[in-house]
Homo-oligomer: A and B are copies of this chain.
Amino acid sequence: MKTTEMLRTHPAATGLDADLLVRAIESLASCVQTCTACADACLSEPTVAELRACIRLDLDCADVCTATSALLSRLTARDVDVTRAQLQACVAACGACAQECARHAEMHEHCAVCAEACRQCEGACRDLLTTIA
């Protein structure tokens, strides 16, 4: 991804710690892909009926991360309250999805990978949140 280059060449100031911002944006992109793929992998499992909550939280997490990623990619006239609230929603969505995926991690390796992506994204969003006054 070209996140660092895009940040460096943007005419506006970041207003946030650049390293934390890049890490959050790239973790979000990874989490969107992983959750979308995990929902679909669960859907293909013979035990799909036991994976309903996992599929649902995967889809929610992908949707919430997509929105959060777009907000963080914009530097022009950022609204701090909106950014903070969306990051908090993202921490909640990633945390809930990680917890559910972890329950199936031994049975389904895609859930193990997804739990890890969600935990990393949750951490990156949480770290960024602490820097927003």
Contacts and interface: CB of A to CB of B under 8 A. Distances in A.
Contact of A64 (B11, B60, B82): B82
Copies in the complex: 4
Contacts of A81: 92, 96
Contacts of A76: 40, 43-44, 52-53, 55-56
A133 interface: no
A42 B28 CA distance: 23
Interface string A97-125: 00000000000111011101100000000
B59 A70 contact: yes
A93 B89 contact: no
Interface in A21-77: 25, 29-30, 32-34, 36-38, 40-41, 43-46, 48-49, 52-53, 55-57, 59-60, 62-64, 66-67, 69-71, 73-77
A112 to B, nearest CB: 8
Contacts of A1: 29-30, 33-34
Contacts of A36: 69-70, 73-74
A19 interface: no
A9 B41 contact: yes
Given A6-B37, A44-B52, A63-B71, 17 more contacts: A1-B33, A2-B34, A9-B109, A10-B40, A10-B44, A10-B110, A11-B45, A12-B44, A32-B69, A36-B69, A40-B73, A43-B55, A44-B75, A57-B79, A57-B82, A82-B92, A85-B93
